[in-house]
Structure formats: structure tokens, C-alpha cells
Amino acid sequence: MLALRNHTGPWPPRMSTSRPVVIVLGCPASTGSSTAAASDGGLAQAIACARASALPLLAVVGVSMLPQALAHLPVRDVVSLPDGCGLGAAIAAGVAARVDAGGWVLLPAVRPLAQPTTLAAVARALAHHPVAYAQHEGRPGRPVGFGAELYSELVRLDDDTSARRLLARYPSVGVDVDDPGALPPSGVADGLTLLRAVVDDAAPRERRRLG
């Protein structure tokens, strides 16, 4: 497992001056996909998409995906976890590795992929909202982004349930994008889209839209 930096200073301020970081999620259990789906070009494409957004990036991958990740990124930009690691733990590891970010935009390494402009749009929304997510034609999808003010809670996530509870506690904003790739394939609900569904059910009056 690659070492993570330990955070010993003060929590990041509510409005960080740093840019958000795209966290490419390549742990199969965190994306709701199989290892084969992520390895079939999905990880390389997700990394390329993140690069094209002009945002800093970090990959959080299962050990089975580590060689593929290191073929595209330097060691400092990769965090390795057990393949069975869930969404909450993957988020926590990625956030802990980038404590000075102005937010974190989560991109699953599975196809279809959101466009780079969609990543950038969600990242911009984090300057004013604690949680933002892409939506296409009124349907919530991915990526989902978290603002820097949620750092202390994000690094304590340890399972999918804790991630859902966190999202349900904070107001979120949907960013309208002309990007079908923001949605998972029909009939498939990945981990991030399932999290969005929790917010849709739990806090409908808190939701806002940006378009």
C-alpha cells in the first residue's frame, strides 16, 4: 500500500484558495463495477479525462489496478487500497492524500465517462456549495464533488453508509450539463449515483440547480 500523508495542521478553511482535485476511483467495490470493467480501458480513459479538465488529479485504485495506474501517473499521484475497499474508504483515502485541495471531484473509472468540461463545471460549483453533482436532462449522475469545508468528515468515512449519511446532512446543488456520459448505463446504478439518490429522497428542499 502506498503511504498517505498524515494531516497534523489546522483543518482547511471553509473557502480554500486551492483548486479542487479530481479523484479517479479505480477500486472495483467503490465504483460498483468489476475489476474487468475498470481494467478494460476505463482507468486510462478516466485519467485522460481528468487531465483534460486541467484540474489536479489523484487516482485511488485497488491493488489489482496499481500497475495500470502507475503506467499513467507518478507514484505521488496514486493511492493503493485493497480491491474490496468500498466507496467511503476510497473517498477518505483520496481526501487524506490531498488535504490542501479546494475540494474533491469524484470520477469513477468506468464507462461511460463524463466530459472534462463536466468535471470542471462541478469543480466550479464547489466554490459556493458544500456538495455539487452533475445532472443531465434532470437526472442526477456523476461526478459528485465535495467542498473543502467537509474535509474533517470526509477523512473519517469508512463505509458506504457513512458516505450516504454525510451527503444527506448537507445541501447540494445539481449542475446541469449537456453530457450523457454523466449518467451510468441504463439499468446500472454505480456507487456515486446511489449516493445522489439518497440526497434526492432525504433533502428535496435543500437541492438547487445550476445551469
Would you say the pTM of this structure is higher than 0.75? yes
- Nearest to residue 47, comparing CAs of 27, 73, 65? 73
What is the pLDDT at residue 194? 47
**Count helices and strands in the chain by DSSP H and E runs:** 9, 8
What is the pLDDT at residue 12? 39
Q: For residue 135, give the H/E element and its range.
A: strand 131-136
Amino acid at 210: L
What is the pLDDT at residue 195? 52
Strands 131-136 and 139-147 come out as: antiparallel
What is the pLDDT at residue 197? 47
Amino acid at 133: Y
Say if residues 133 and 108 touch (Cβ distance below 8 Å): no
What is the pLDDT at residue 86? 82
Q: For residue 63, give the H/E element and its range.
A: none
- Nearest to residue 143, comparing CAs of 77, 196, 76? 196
Say if residues 199 and 165 touch (Cβ distance below 8 Å): no
The DSSP line for 151-166 is HHHHTT--SHHHHHHH
User: How confident is the prediction along the chain (211 residues), in pLDDT tens digits per residue?
Assistant: 333 333 333 333 445 558 999 999 987 655 554 444 455 578 999 999 999 999 999 999 999 999 999 999 999 999 999 988 888 889 999 999 999 999 999 998 887 889 999 999 999 999 999 999 999 998 888 899 999 999 999 999 987 777 778 877 888 899 999 999 988 766 444 555 545 444 444 333 344 556 5
What is the pLDDT at residue 87? 84
